Chain A
Amino acid sequence: MAQIKHHLTDELIMAYSAGLLPEAFSLVVATHVSMCDACRAALEAHDAVGGAVLEDAGEVALAPEALANCLAAIEQLPPKGPIAFDRSELPLKNDPVLPEPLLDYVDGGIEAVNWRPVGLGVKQAILPTSKEASVRLLYIPAGAEVPDHGHHGTELTLVLQGAFRDEFDRFGPGDVEIADPNVEHTPVAEEGEPCICLAATDAPLKFRKFLPKIAQPFLRI
């Protein structure tokens, strides 16, 4: 597991635990947690708050036949062995770049990503999520610059492969950069291998250098 320096904030973890985040942000959180046990522990601790809230939520009686319904449904399930689980039987969904949560969004893994060029060798693939926020995979050739962009809302960028630097720090595999609204930053991919990131925004990205504003809705950036 990579040495991760840049983690999720407690606010994001709590919002994800409570189920408040738009799907695009949830995807970044779930992917980071798949790579980072520190944040997984923080998430499961916040889930414990959810457990406490559930214990205290009060009780509302179910229909009289509810338990029988459940037992009947269980009866329909395929039988389990005495110990149902063997880790070695897990279908390992190993992709060299994309952690498991992303494989539900990119059919066929990293080789099958439908990249679209956005300029200077940079490519993106927008993933299908609910519309409140958007999330894309970004491919930045080694040494290349991501077009200078600002954004209206929060932007989460998670490095999946390679590394980039911007005005603030260096971000390697598993690192997540949380950029506030109005931050303009210019990530540059390190030399070596191409940098692949997962980036979510709750407002359209504004690329400044390459695209006239009018092209943005058309390209769905």
Chain B
Amino acid sequence: MIKSPLLPDGDQNTVSIATKPRADQSLDQDWAALMIAIRDRQDTQAFAALFAHFAPRVKAFLLKSGANETLAEDCAQDVMTTVWRKSHLFDPARATVATWIFTIARNRKIDLLRKERRPEPEELPWGPEPEPDASDVIALEQDSKKLQSALIQLPEKQRILIERCYFGDLSHSEIASETGLPLGTIKSRIRLALERLRREMDADKE
């Protein structure tokens, strides 16, 4: 997948992936700020920090989705490179970094595993200004944390069903609409962010 030459030895191992403890310090890490550092300043340190946390998760996600070791490794690297390449499209008022990386991994998975095109909705990129309100970003992150704890706390059978669904291990006719997850507040927050975006886009046209 990625055939670029390796960096000189000295530049390797800036981040030790294998030894990173599986700590939930991740919950307090400001991933969105790292994404914005990548977007605005091409910050490779920020990228290395995101990589250390998300790349092993993306690889695990791909393996659980049926990819073999080689494909999962190549695809995970490719997903992380795409995170950099598409950083200008990341909107922290509508998605957390985990959510956004999930969508990139899912699309690459459909490309590579199913060998199918993935029709995507028209992008609604936000201009450089104004930045989304910091409190909106924090609120979305808090709701996403609640969603994640809700997922962990679901009865096992139900949780496994949802995970299998996102690992692509169900048919679409097996999906239940009632997930038991608190999606209502996230939906309304994203809706508000979209309304604001539409107003800005209309203002741009004038």
Contact = CB atoms under 8 A, between A and B. Distances in A.
B187 A42 contact: yes
Given A49-B183, A72-B5, A101-B119, A63 B73 contact: yes
A20 B44 contact: no
A53 B121 contact: no
Interface string A48-84: 1111111111111111111111111111110110111
Contact of B165 (A20, A45, A88): A20
Interface in B1-41: 2, 4-7, 11-15, 17-18, 22, 26, 39-41
A15 B57 CA distance: 21
A1 B17 CA distance: 47
B80 A70 contact: yes
A17 B87 CA distance: 20
Contact of B119 (A31, A52, A62, A66): A31
B117 interface: yes
B68 interface: no
A120 to B, nearest CB: 30
B95 A44 contact: yes
A130 interface: yes
Q: In the complex, which of the residues A9, A42, A50, A80 has the most CB atoms of chain B within 10 Å of its own CB atom?
A: A50
Chain A interface size, as a band, is 35 or more
Interface stretch (A21-29, A140-148, A168-176, A184-192): A21-29
B47 A74 contact: yes
A55 B76 contact: no
B142 interface: no
A88 B26 contact: no
Interface of B: 2, 4-7, 11-15, 17-18, 22, 26, 39-42, 44, 47-48, 51-52, 54-61, 63-64, 72-73, 76-77, 80-81, 84-85, 87-89, 94-96, 98-103, 105-107, 109-110, 114, 116-128, 144, 147-148, 151-152, 162-163, 165-168, 170-172, 175-177, 179, 181, 183, 186-188, 190-191, 194-195, 198, 201, 204
Contacts of B151: 49, 52-53, 56
A130 B204 CA distance: 38
11 contacts: A19-B106, A48-B95, A50-B166, A53-B162, A61-B17, A66-B51, A66-B73, A71-B44, A76-B4, A85-B89, A85-B127
A109 interface: no
A201 B17 CA distance: 46
Contacts of B116: 23, 130
B54 to A, nearest CB: 8
5 A-B pairs with least C-beta separation: A51-B99, A59-B56, A72-B4, A15-B172, A51-B98
Given A51-B96, A83-B40, A20 B168 contact: yes
A14 interface: yes
